[in-house]
Structure 1
Amino acid sequence: MKRTETKRPVVLAAIMLAMFMAAVEATIVATAMPKIVGDLGGFAFFSWVFSSYLLMQVVTIPLYGKLADIFGRKKVFGFGICLFLIGSFICGFSRSMEMLIFSRFVQGIGAGAVQPIATTIVGDMYSKEERAKIQGYLASIWGISAIVGPLLGAFFIEYVNWSWIFWINIPFGILSLIIILIFLQEKIDEQKQKVDYLGAILLFITVATLMFVLVQIDGSALLSTLQLVILLMVSLISLLLFIRHERKASSPIMTLSLWKRKVIRYSNLASFTAGAMLLAISTFLPTYVQGVLGQTPLVAGLTLTVISIGWPISSTIAGKMMLKTGFRVTAVIGGLALLVGGLCYFTLPFVAHPLIAGAGSFFLGVGMGFTTTTFIVSIQSSVDWRVRGEATAMNMFMRQLGGAVGVALLGGLLNKDLRSFFEQNQKELSVEPSINAINVILDESERSLLSTSELELLRVGLAEGMVTVFGSLFILSIITFVFIRLLPKDHNKQEKQT
């Protein structure tokens, strides 16, 4: 691609619009979920609203990355935006939890193309030194959306309807798509390559079956233990078949040889565990702040907002720092921030104050800013244009896969703890002693029908279940730091060795 042919500032603005759309989506949906559950019911399926979206996003990211290297960024980005907007549109019309989950599947299929392809376009247009600076600009979008998102979410919930938390994506998506189609000029090699659909199918089976098993850890009677074991075996076999197929495929969806490079291998592994932290907090923290701490949706949203305040600040600093101190030192600083954030969440059930939740989120944002910026720039600088889309998508894939697995696993553990709690205290409740009893404390009208003792009991149950979630987050922060410490000190030297 000739950089002079593309109007870089205009295209960058379109990319920032797309990133804003994705950032606002994350903030508003997480903040509004208690209200959605209160209207639609089905708290037992709470995590699937996020897992269904993440599942399709995860399994399509590598495919989109490969397609972008074959057919160009513009076509793949446009296709993804269109699907994302269709999914957003039908999400707003959902009148049951099952319909919402299906709509999120559709939305997730499109989301797999939005962020990784947008980031790849930046990698194409700018040099290594410029990328570090531009990543700071992109990260600032999270700060803006952090302020706008919770305010919009609170406004829609209070004065309009929660459907608008999905429909707000549509104008931003359309504008971004139009700009990209008009102003992004790219020249790709006209070469015929087979798309690795079999690899995509095997990857989908692997991830889908694994996530279903993790969600069922709650001990529900949906599937027997034997059936879950069979699903787990199917996931393992599919993974082995996927690896075997990718090694032999002429144009694999995931070039496994890239994992031989230490900077890619440990960046991806750290992205997996950090992604699990980020998505788990985005999913469960608002419910904890509202259901246990008794705060308003706006306060719950603000405890997430500070993630997006710490993220752009640290990302901007990281962009300048990595050019002077190197990738590893910058990433280690991010790893330390993640540790502090994980420690704050670990102490939250004992202190039980929204300020502690906000502090944890701020340090989580700082850690994500330092690490994600460093990972993306270092990976894109270590590969050729022909595999840059795939390498970028692979890192995004690992982060989103970590988020999907983390939400599914922690959601299953939370449901298991809640189920056990209600079985022990069923005589003290007038409502049905099931996981869906949590719906009551998230719905203001139903909450008023409970006695003070019953309401407090439900809050205690949710609080005890969240102890496992927050403890797991602290463990994830430790594992992430270990992976970051394993990054090579001089990745350019390391790449030559490998």
Structure 2
Amino acid sequence: MDYNGLKKDLLIVGILVSFLTPFVRSSINLAIPFLANEFTLSAVFLTWISTIYLLVNAILYIPFGRIGDIYGRKRIFQYGLIIFTVSSFISAFSTSGEMFLFFRVFQAIGNAMIFANLNAMISSAFPVNERGKAFGLTSMSVFVGLILGPILGGVITEMVGWRTLFYMDTVIGIIAAYAITRFKYDWIDAQGEKLDILGSFLLGISLIAILYGFSDFTSSYSLFLILAGIFGMSLFYLVEKRAAFPLINLDLFKIKRFTFGNITALLNYGAFVSVGFILTLYLQYLKGYSPITAGLIVSVQSVMMVLVSPFAGRLSDKIDPGSVSTMGMVLTTIGVALMTLITFENALYLGGLALIIFGSGIGLFYSSNTKMVMSAVDKRYYGVASATLSNMRSMGQIFGMGIVMIIISTVLGNVQITPSAYPELIVSLRSSLIAIAVLSAVGIFTSLFKD
């Protein structure tokens, strides 16, 4: 077997799919107004376009990671890629909002199958001293997708229509699907074991309750959902302790690099997502910039992520990846802390500096953290480890945005943002940045637990 050829093909596939799904998620946001007009959709229905995607992933990430360990990571990855590509193509022919949302669910299923196993496949194919470089390149591709999604998505949607976005996704998916058929090798490191159905159910329901509770924390039932989710996780723990083939081997959480690496990933991704949202509000409402201009300014951080990620990956092959991820958290915290000092007078130079430092921190952290977490576990658990890390990033997104929503609703209230409310908006955005800076500082602390 040409093992170098296998690694090359796998890396090509990893780069393509790492670009594809962030591009889809970020580009579809700009198409939402067009979908609303064409299908006469309510505001509540529109929120489900993103919410359903996140919830489906929350249910399925870890079970599909475990299934990959048992039945073959490449097989589950390939099936997921096919499901994602076909559902993207059919989505382009949607004739109603309900039809679009239905195939959105299948896109989420395919995405869960893909990203529950991608990092596991890379860890299986690449030796430890080469994984950082591989993760650096796939991380770079993620950030390229996040940059080009809003830019190309807006241009394509306005010029030729939102359906063309899904045609593009289909083409990329077909190329990736062809590339992965070039090698026949698969990784099955837990063959003969069985999937824990009860544990999968309990974990899925618990995560849905927690994530949905945090996604709408200002509602009357959010606290109940979060507490119910915590209770469900307690039942999950008891079931896993007694399961012959647990969904997650709880002994993994005795490994500090695995446990604290995942916790730090949650905090880092919470900062990443929420800072972009805060800055978008600031630039459009308080500075008066157009959505395109605001998007280009915020993309400075993503450009830095693209530039730094490959370097961070190579660096984590030469020195301890835990140290690289700690450096990333330090820069992330400094970047957010500088943002809390932005005023109308210094917004240009201080804001630009903060975005450069913040983006560099995220870029340093992402690939090095992935390598540290994946290298901490035995190869039998690569699928579960990969899926757990993906899930923590999704939970970080909801957690970070939940904190921002709590602060904005407390300071600003449930009112329309008008010039008369700008003083409260300024206070709420600055308070949100302070809270995110504190969380990032906690991330520095958790990233130090490596041994």
Deviates more, 1:371-380 or 1:158-167: 158-167
Q: Take 2:337 and 2:101, find their aligned partners in 1: how far apart are those partners?
A: 32
1:26-74 CA-to-partner distances (Å, cap 9, x unmatched) read 4424556677779867567776544432222233211111111111122
Asked if structure 2 preserves the Cα contact closer than 8 Å seen for 1:247 and 1:256, the reply is: yes
Counterpart position of 2:21: 22
Q: CA deviation at 1:136?
A: 2.5
Q: Take 2:202 and 2:121, find their aligned partners in 1: how far apart are those partners?
A: 28
Task: After TM superposition, list the pairs within 5 Å mapping 1:375-394 onto structure 2.
Answer: 375-394=369-388
Counterpart position of 1:343: 337
Q: Take 2:342 and 2:125, find their aligned partners in 1: how far apart are those partners?
A: 43
Distance 1:45 1:340, change over 3 A: farther
The amino acid across from 1:168 in the alignment is: M
Deviates more, 1:394-403 or 1:357-366: 357-366
Q: Take 2:42 and 2:434, find their aligned partners in 1: how far apart are those partners?
A: 25
Task: After TM superposition, list the pairs within 5 Å mapping 1:368-447 onto structure 2.
Answer: 368-411=362-405, 413-415=407-409, 417-420=411-414, 422=415, 437=416
1:283-339 CA-to-partner distances (Å, cap 9, x unmatched) read 554455334433233223323423332223322222333344423321221111111
Distance 1:201 1:356, change over 3 A: farther
Q: Take 1:97 and 1:474, find their aligned partners in 2: how far apart are those partners?
A: 38
Q: CA deviation at 1:114?
A: 2.2
Counterpart position of 2:53: 53
Q: Take 1:94 and 1:347, find their aligned partners in 2: how far apart are those partners?
A: 46
The amino acid across from 2:337 in the alignment is: L
Counterpart position of 2:7: 8
Counterpart position of 2:77: 77
1:441-479 CA-to-partner distances (Å, cap 9, x unmatched) read xxxxxxxxxxxxxx5346666555544443332222112
**Pairwise CA RMSD of aligned residues?**
3.4
Counterpart position of 1:484: 447
Asked if structure 1 preserves the Cα contact closer than 8 Å seen for 2:62 and 2:116, the reply is: no
Q: Take 1:366 and 1:67, find their aligned partners in 2: how far apart are those partners?
A: 35
Asked if structure 2 preserves the Cα contact closer than 8 Å seen for 1:54 and 1:404, the reply is: no
Q: Take 1:378 and 1:179, find their aligned partners in 2: how far apart are those partners?
A: 27
Task: After TM superposition, list the pairs within 5 Å mapping 1:272-291 onto structure 2.
Answer: 272-283=266-277, 285-291=279-285
Q: Take 1:72 and 1:479, find their aligned partners in 2: how far apart are those partners?
A: 37
Asked if structure 2 preserves the Cα contact closer than 8 Å seen for 1:345 and 1:473, the reply is: no
Asked if structure 1 preserves the Cα contact closer than 8 Å seen for 2:322 and 2:372, the reply is: no
The amino acid across from 1:54 in the alignment is: L
Q: Take 2:152 and 2:229, find their aligned partners in 1: how far apart are those partners?
A: 40
The amino acid across from 1:135 in the alignment is: F
Distance 1:384 1:277, change over 3 A: same
- SS where residue 182 of structure 1 aligns? coil
Distance 1:165 1:345, change over 3 A: farther
Q: Take 2:359 and 2:259, find their aligned partners in 1: how far apart are those partners?
A: 23
Gaps of 5+ in 2: none
Q: Take 1:347 and 1:18, find their aligned partners in 2: how far apart are those partners?
A: 38
Asked if structure 1 preserves the Cα contact closer than 8 Å seen for 2:137 and 2:313, the reply is: no
**Equivalent of residue 323 in structure 2, options 324, 329, 344:** 329
Q: CA deviation at 1:239?
A: 0.9
Asked if structure 2 preserves the Cα contact closer than 8 Å seen for 1:277 and 1:477, the reply is: yes
Asked if structure 2 preserves the Cα contact closer than 8 Å seen for 1:50 and 1:407, the reply is: no
Counterpart position of 1:63: 63
**Equivalent of residue 359 in structure 2, options 353, 361, 365:** 365
Q: Take 2:150 and 2:224, find their aligned partners in 1: how far apart are those partners?
A: 42
Distance 1:475 1:158, change over 3 A: same
Asked if structure 2 preserves the Cα contact closer than 8 Å seen for 1:211 and 1:409, the reply is: no
The amino acid across from 1:7 in the alignment is: L
Deviates more, 1:383-392 or 1:122-131: 383-392
Q: Take 2:365 and 2:150, find their aligned partners in 1: how far apart are those partners?
A: 25
1:248-277 CA-to-partner distances (Å, cap 9, x unmatched) read 222222222111011111111100111212
The amino acid across from 2:81 in the alignment is: I
Q: Take 1:478 and 1:367, find their aligned partners in 2: how far apart are those partners?
A: 12
Q: CA deviation at 1:16?
A: 1.0
Q: CA deviation at 1:481?
A: 1.3
Q: CA deviation at 1:242?
A: 0.8
- SS where residue 217 of structure 1 aligns? coil
- SS where residue 182 of structure 2 aligns? helix
Asked if structure 2 preserves the Cα contact closer than 8 Å seen for 1:55 and 1:404, the reply is: no
Q: Take 1:104 and 1:17, find their aligned partners in 2: how far apart are those partners?
A: 20
Q: How many corresponding residue pairs?
A: 450
Asked if structure 1 preserves the Cα contact closer than 8 Å seen for 2:211 and 2:395, the reply is: no
Q: CA deviation at 1:408?
A: 4.2
Asked if structure 1 preserves the Cα contact closer than 8 Å seen for 2:124 and 2:187, the reply is: no
Q: Take 1:344 and 1:480, find their aligned partners in 2: how far apart are those partners?
A: 17
Asked if structure 2 preserves the Cα contact closer than 8 Å seen for 1:196 and 1:252, the reply is: yes
Asked if structure 2 preserves the Cα contact closer than 8 Å seen for 1:65 and 1:117, the reply is: yes
- TM-score (normalizing by structure 2): 0.86
Gaps of 5+ in 1: 220-224, 423-436, 439-454, 489-493
Deviates more, 1:144-153 or 1:254-263: 144-153
- SS where residue 181 of structure 2 aligns? helix
Q: Take 1:410 and 1:164, find their aligned partners in 2: how far apart are those partners?
A: 33
Counterpart position of 1:202: 202
Counterpart position of 1:177: 177
Asked if structure 2 preserves the Cα contact closer than 8 Å seen for 1:315 and 1:370, the reply is: yes
Asked if structure 1 preserves the Cα contact closer than 8 Å seen for 2:268 and 2:362, the reply is: yes
